Amino acid sequence: MQRLTLSICLASSLAASPLMAADVNNADYRARWHSDIQTGYQALASQTRTLASQAGAYCDTPSAEGLEQTKQAWLDAFLAWQKVRFVDFGPVEQANRAWQFQFWPDPKNLVARKAAYLLKDEGAITAEKINESGVAVQGFPMVEYLLHDQAFGEGGRALPADRSCQLLVSVTNHIADNAEALTNDWSEFKSAYVDNDQYTDTTVRAAMTGLELLEERRLATPMGLRGNSKRNVYRADAWRSGASLAAANATVQGFQQQFFPAFSKLLTDNGQNDLAARIKEQVEDVRAKFPELNRPMAPLLADDSKFRMLQSLYVHVSQLTALVNDRAAVELGVVRGFNSSDGD
């Protein structure tokens, strides 16, 4: 797994960083990070359990209102994941958990293909079946497909068809169980995390990678600023639900809540008060683009006048990335490795 490989590489390379010096205060930053990430994981566990419960209730007594409530529960849980998605080390590395939550990118449309296979198969869709079916089945994109895919929703297997409901309930329960286990494992990981100096650099790098992923692949690529220069909403995450930009907002909010408090103190304790203030201001500038941009990306890509809204968001995210990944990382002596988000 690439993330595991990255962690091994980091463990052997962090000794050169000033943050690896014998500074007992480093543990204080990690204690705050652990607590803030724990809060994010707890929210994820709570929202995914609500999603599983709502999916079960909808399938027991189907209704148009129940379907809309299930869609909202999916969105709430998906956004809770976006807030902690930057954490690419520790318990989330076990058993491909990050991939289980969100199999993306999906250039071969494996989610739809896997759904079609499972829905045609005659065997019961059980927890065991989901466990053995692979990461393309096990997470938020599969639930999004069942709830939001237009072609699927117009076909004969559309919810609340019995077998589709089996798949919906089984996958949402898998997500909830996964989130609960991750939350518990992160709690138990506290001593190993707080007591190990290498995790200061590792945590900073995780946030750096999360920002790069947001800038380069979740925004620039579908906007046609990378690759073949063609705008293509299908290269965004959560395009079926139109939640790509809401997810981007949640990612920045997660940076603000789960990462920045300890990071800001780390910067100020290293004499970078102005830089910490500038990053704080830039985060607020990015978030100020919402809720106006809490809308589907596709219409913005199709209309040049509206596309400027995306361009403005991209510029602000790029400026935030530069402040953290170039200026702050340099000041703290954090050397950026290869991008571990490849294949995420």
Q: What is the pLDDT of residues 115-158, one digit of tens each?
A: 999 999 888 999 999 999 999 999 999 999 999 999 999 999 99
The pLDDT of 31-47, averaged and rounded, is 98
Q: Mapping DSSP to helix (H, G, I), strand (E, B) and coil, where does residue 63 land?
A: coil
Q: Cα separation of 148 and 22, whole Å?
A: 52
pLDDT > 90 in the chain, percent: 88
Q: What's the pLDDT at 19?
A: 59
Instruction: Give the range of the structural domain holding residue 304, as residue numbers without chain letter.
Output: 2-332
100 located within any domain: yes
Q: Which token pair is 219?
A: 């925004």
SS (H, E, C) 230-248: CCCHHHCCCCCCCCHHHHH
The pLDDT of 189-206, averaged and rounded, is 97
Asked whether 178 and 45 are in contact (CB, 8 A), the reply is no
139 located within any domain: yes
337 located within any domain: no
CA distances from 49 to 54, 71, 98, 185 (A): 9, 14, 17, 17
Q: What's the pLDDT at 235?
A: 96
343 located within any domain: no
Residue 16, pLDDT > 90, answer: no
The pLDDT of 23-42, averaged and rounded, is 91
76 located within any domain: yes
Q: What's the pLDDT at 227?
A: 82
* CATH number, position 246: 1.20.1420.20
Per-residue pLDDT reduced to its tens digit, 261-273 = 999 999 999 999 9
Residue 1, pLDDT > 80, answer: no
How many CB atoms lie under 10 A from the CB of residue 213?
A: 22
240 located within any domain: yes
Residue 9, pLDDT > 50, answer: no
Residue 20 exposure: Cα atoms within 13 Å on the Cβ side: 15
69 located within any domain: yes
167 located within any domain: yes
Total domains, the chain: 1
